[in-house]
Amino acid sequence: MNLNTQFVFEGKLKRNLVIGMVIGAICLAWSLVGDDEYRTRFWTNWLHNSVFFTGIAFMAMFFLSAQITAFAGWNSVVKRVWEAMSQFMWVGLILMGVIVAGVWGHFHHLYHWNDPNVNITNPDGPHFDEILAGKKGFLNPMFFTLGTIGFLAIWYFWAYKLRQVSVAQDTQETPSFDYHKKQRKWAASFLPLGGFLSTVFLWQSVMSVDPHWYSTMFAWYSMVSVWLGAISMTVMLIIFLKSKGYLEYVTRDHLHDIGKFLFGISVFWTYLWFDQFMLIWYANNGEETIYFKERMDHYPVLFWGNLLLNFVTPFLILMRNDTKRKFGTMFFVAAIVFFGHWWDFFGMIKPGARIAAHEATMLVEENKNGGTHSDTTTGIDHDASTGHEEPATETAHVAEAHADTAAHASEIMHTENATEAEHSEPGHTEAAEASTVHTDHADAGHADATHGEAAHGEHGDGGHHGDKSFKMGFTVPGIQELGVMIGFLSLFLFFFFNQLSKVSLVPLRDPYLEESLHHDTGTNIDGERQLDGDESGHDHGHH
Amino acid sequence: MAAENTKVLYGLYNDEEDLKSAVKTAGKDHMDIMDVFTPFPVHGLDPVLGLKESRLHYLGFVYGAIGALFGFGAMTWIFTSDWPTIFGGKPYWSVPAFIPITFEMTVLFSAWGMTLTFYTICGMWPGVKNKTLDNRITDDKFCIAFDVTNAAENDVDNIKGFFNRTGAAEINLKTL
């Protein structure tokens, strides 16, 4: 077994990845065809994939740092894979830099808080958005720049240093802990940096697509989502490299342990998914609930498909011991989970960006009309925020806002078919009644079920968030979206293989290398007596 | 459960790697090991002993499924027909609110069920006293035991020779 091997980035693989990138570029350009005036489809595709693949690189670094800090030894033989993955943050810096440039130059409209037509300064002026006014200290171009590319630059520096120390270790004469200790300093200091800053990164780049909404669980949830992206990609890359004859010392036992992570973190992701959902469902605050209401009513394939891909599949398939030890099964599950978390991010970004674009159009229209309309786009959120402070007056507000919204809705819904417009009428009456009934016991606040329904109806039918009809590339990913994913994936892999080919595939002088080479999960699936010390290296003696 | 007056010849090793290679040697020599005792689970010991995968976790799944159904069913019955109550303006049958408890019941049933099944299989109940070969196998020694009740003299010598060859720190004979 020759440990001193180096990956050779062959011309054929290079060519295939370049083809993938060309497909991506074509599909990205294609998504401009029939796009709206803000090129929402194009820009959401860019943001979605940039965040997802940059997040994978970040999480590879975070995962590796956590393992180094925890004195893990089993992972030595796969360390270089994560090191190479983490270097993609450099490319992520450019990808996210384009988004940042767009925030300054206003050439995309992903973030409603960045719309110059939104009034966040003058409370007496038209369309005053109280919520965004309250968040302007955080949601502004300056902070956005710091929170995305600023933090990415810091992380990349750490990833670069960690890899540098690891590569320098190869030049040692004999294995010792000298370089390992240095690595631990970089790894341990990265954990708080990555852990705390990544929350801000995700609030800025993904959560602020729905700027009125917030969730305290969001950063956890989406970070774990990219973590699974990173783990599933690791599984696929290891199996790919093995099929090419590399990494022969990575055994079923290593795969088994990564499979446990894939299984366990998938369950953790589900826990966070449910946590976020249940906290919001239970509290039933309009400005929070609308996020889920919107997705459950108008994006059911995205919403429920997410759970099917990311919970049901890995949970049922990986529950058994032996499935985690089979290369074919693991590749299959990893591919599904990888796609699943890409899908998850799609669902976080697309519906919100569609609303942002719609709101922008409404504001422009209303400005044209001299701002005579009530502030339909922001009225409800506005109302919800004041409601917290004055529950007694809230219902009156809601009813008022509702009347406005419904009136407006009938205007904007003229493009839709007549039956739907008719439907909105009885819905309106019902909701208004519920609100009236509610005034009798206003002290019950939001807690009352009827009130909750009324608020929902208002959000759902009021035209607050515009056109809800099926739209390819938003309701479900279209061919363009899949193509763009292939493009970004090819870019990621091209960079990854290039980085991987530069250094030895094994950290040759890693003090934990011996442990890793003899890693043994102690699992005996076949129930056969193994006496010859086969691939798992059972027959090793003392160290 | 050892029968009355079982004569056991056992060797004690200082290291789990010595133990593993000794078990492997015994397997190659077709020696009939009665049991192996270690103070902690030794990874990779099962395959060399030729032990089959435990079926306990199948039962774990069954217990878990029973717990989930029981928890969910009980809450459904209680909150919809036995004592319908509105909590926080939610419907009587509010599934999201039931999920944490369903999860807890799954874990509880699975854990207790597997523990009790394991105790039953191993004959471990309060009041049951099991004989220990050597107290040090619960501390820092690794033991291979052979049943020599009906063994011929040269078989016993054979086993002793095996222990010496494979680096056992101690060889003892004990009647249980």
Judge whether A252 is closer than 8 Å to chain B, CB to CB.
no
Q: B-chain residues within 8 Å CB-CB of A260?
A: none
* CB of A425 closer than 8 Å to CB of A447: no
> How far is Cα A300 from Cα A185, in angstroms, rounded to an integer?
46
> How far is Cα A185 from Cα A163, in angstroms, rounded to an integer?
13
- DSSP-based three-state secondary structure for A85: helix
> How far is Cα A451 from Cα A444, in angstroms, rounded to an integer?
10
Task: Note the pLDDT of residue B110.
Answer: 96
Which residues, numbered 300 to 329 in chain A, qualify as contacts with chain B under a Cβ-Cβ cut-off of 8 Å?
Answer: 319, 321
Contact A522 B42 (CB under 8 A): yes
CA A212 to mean position of chain CA atoms:
18
DSSP character at residue A77: G
**Closest CA of chain B from A204, distance in Å:** 29
Structure tokens that stand for A146 in this block: 């710091």
**Closest CA of chain B from A202, distance in Å:** 26
CA Rg, chain A, in Å?
Answer: 26
* pTM of the predicted protein model: 0.80
Task: Note the pLDDT of residue A53.
Answer: 97
Which secondary structure element, helix H or strand E, spans residue B175, and what is its range?
A: strand B170-175
Nearest by CB to residue B48, choosing from A281, A282, A529, is: A529
Chain B: which residues have CB within 8 Å of chain A?
15, 17, 20-21, 24, 27-28, 41-53, 57, 61, 86, 88-91, 96-97, 99-100
pLDDT along chain A (543 residues), means of 10: 85 96 96 89 96 97 96 92 96 97 93 90 87 92 95 97 94 87 96 95 95 92 96 97 93 94 96 94 89 93 95 93 91 97 96 90 83 45 41 41 41 38 41 39 39 39 58 91 97 97 92 87 63 46 38
pLDDT along chain B (176 residues), means of 10: 74 91 89 90 84 86 96 96 89 92 96 94 83 88 91 89 91 88
Domain boundaries, chain A: 11-364+478-517, 390-461
Q: Which amino acid is at A43?
A: W
**Nearest residue of chain A to residue B88 (CA atoms):** A447
Contact A520 B43 (CB under 8 A): yes
C-alpha atoms less than 13 angstroms from C-alpha of A408 in its C-beta half-sphere:
26
- DSSP-based three-state secondary structure for B93: coil
Nearest to B97 by CA among A444, A307, B83, B89: B89
CA Rg, chain B, in Å?
Answer: 25
Domain covering B7-52+128-175, topology? Alpha-Beta Plaits (3.30.70)
**Closest CA of chain A from B79, distance in Å:** 16
Mutate to test the interface with A, among B13, B15, B17, B166 (most CBs of A within 10 A): B17
Domain boundaries, chain B: 7-52+128-175, 56-122
Write down the residue that tokens 């973190």 correspond to: A265
Mutate to test the interface with A, among B14, B19, B24, B110 (most CBs of A within 10 A): B24
Contact B20 A538 (CB under 8 A): yes
Q: Which long-range contacts (CB under 8 A, 24 or more apart) does A103-106 make?
A: A103/A141, A103/A144, A103/A145, A104/A141, A104/A145
Contact B53 A527 (CB under 8 A): yes
